[in-house]
A and B are shown apart, each in its own frame.
Chain A
Amino acid sequence: MATDMRPPLIDYHALVSGGRVHGSLYRDPQVYQRELDQVWHKVWVYLCHESELPLPGDFLRRQIGTQPVLVVRGEDNAIRVFFNRCRHRGNLLCNREHGNADSFRCPYHAWTYAKDGALLEPTFEEGYDNNLSRADFSLTPVPRQDAYRGLIFASVSPAGPSLREHLGQVTEFIDLFMDVSPSGEIDLNSGVQKLRYHGNWKLLPENSLEGDYHGPFIHRFAFEMHSRRTGLNLSSLYENQVPDVIRSLPGGHMVEDYRGASMTPPQRALTPARQAYLAALEARCGKEKARQLTSTTPPLVFVFPNLIYIMTHIRRFQPISVNETYVYYHPMLFKGAPAEINEARLREHEFGFGPAGFISPDDIEIMERNQIGVQARGNDWQHIARGLHRVREMPGGGTAGYTMDENHLRGMWQHYARLMSGQSDGDVQ
Chain B
Amino acid sequence: MSSDAPAAPSVDAVAAFLYREARLIDEHRYQEWLALWESSDTLYWVPCNEDDIDPRRHVSIIYDDHDRLEQRVERLMSGSVLAQQPLPKMRRIVSNIEPEQVAPDLISVRSNFILATARAGRQELWAGQAVHRLRLRDGSHRIVAKKVLLNNSDQEIPLLQFLI
Q: Do the beta carbons of B48 and A191 come within 8 Å of each other?
A: yes
Q: Do the beta carbons of B58 and A354 come within 8 Å of each other?
A: no
A284 close to B (CB within 8 Å): no
Q: Which of A194, A339, A349, A354 contacts B56 (CB 8 A)?
A: A339
A346 close to B (CB within 8 Å): yes
B33 close to A (CB within 8 Å): no
Mostly helix, strand, loop or mixed at chain B's interface? Answer: loop
B151 close to A (CB within 8 Å): no
A190 close to B (CB within 8 Å): yes
Question: In this complex, what residue of A is CB-closest to B83?
Answer: A365
Residues of B within 8 A of A355 (CB): 61, 157-161
How many Cβ-Cβ contacts under 8 Å join chain A to chain B? 101
Residues of A within 8 A of B63 (CB): 346-347, 350
Q: Which of A191, A218, A221, A347 contacts B58 (CB 8 A)?
A: A191
- For window 76-91 of B, CB contacts with A under 8 Å fall at 78, 80-83
- For window 144-203 of A, CB contacts with B under 8 Å fall at 190-197
**Known contacts being A191-B59, A221-B75, A331-B59, is A354 close to B48, with CB within 8 Å?**
yes
A380 close to B (CB within 8 Å): no
Question: How far apart sit A364 and B82, CA to CA, in the bound complex (Å)?
Answer: 9
Q: Do the beta carbons of B161 and A361 come within 8 Å of each other?
A: yes
User: Chain B nearest CB: distance from A191 CB in Å?
Assistant: 4
Give the one of B59, B68, B82, B160 with max A CB within 10 A. Answer: B59
Interface residues on chain B, size class: 20 to 34
Q: Do the beta carbons of A356 and B61 come within 8 Å of each other?
A: yes
B25 close to A (CB within 8 Å): no
Residues of B within 8 A of A221 (CB): 75, 78, 80
A225 close to B (CB within 8 Å): yes
A213 close to B (CB within 8 Å): no
Question: How far apart sit A346 and B49, CA to CA, in the bound complex (Å)?
Answer: 15
A343 close to B (CB within 8 Å): yes
Residues of A within 8 A of B75 (CB): 221-222, 225, 358
Q: Do the beta carbons of A362 and B83 come within 8 Å of each other?
A: yes
A126 close to B (CB within 8 Å): no
**Known contacts being A225-B71, A350-B59, A354-B61, is A194 close to B83, with CB within 8 Å?**
no
Q: Do the beta carbons of B48 and A196 come within 8 Å of each other?
A: no
Question: How far apart sit A330 and B63, CA to CA, in the bound complex (Å)?
Answer: 16
Residues of A within 8 A of B158 (CB): 195-197, 355
Question: In this complex, what residue of A is CB-closest to B61?
Answer: A356
A220 close to B (CB within 8 Å): yes
Question: How far apart sit A195 and B139, CA to CA, in the bound complex (Å)?
Answer: 41
B14 close to A (CB within 8 Å): no
Question: How far apart sit A193 and B80, CA to CA, in the bound complex (Å)?
Answer: 23
Residues of A within 8 A of B58 (CB): 190-191, 346
B94 close to A (CB within 8 Å): no
Question: How far apart sit A24 and B161, CA to CA, in the bound complex (Å)?
Answer: 30
**Known contacts being A356-B46, A358-B75, is A350 close to B62, with CB within 8 Å?**
yes
Q: Do the beta carbons of A364 and B59 come within 8 Å of each other?
A: no
Question: How far apart sit A195 and B59, CA to CA, in the bound complex (Å)?
Answer: 14
12 A-B pairs besides A220-B80, A331-B59, A351-B68 with CB distance below 8 A are A190-B58, A191-B53, A193-B59, A195-B159, A196-B156, A343-B56, A354-B59, A355-B159, A358-B72, A361-B83, A362-B80, A365-B161
Q: List 19 A-B contacts (CB under 8 A).
A: A190-B57, A191-B58, A192-B49, A193-B61, A194-B154, A195-B159, A197-B158, A331-B59, A346-B59, A347-B68, A351-B68, A355-B158, A356-B46, A356-B61, A356-B161, A361-B82, A361-B160, A362-B81, A366-B82
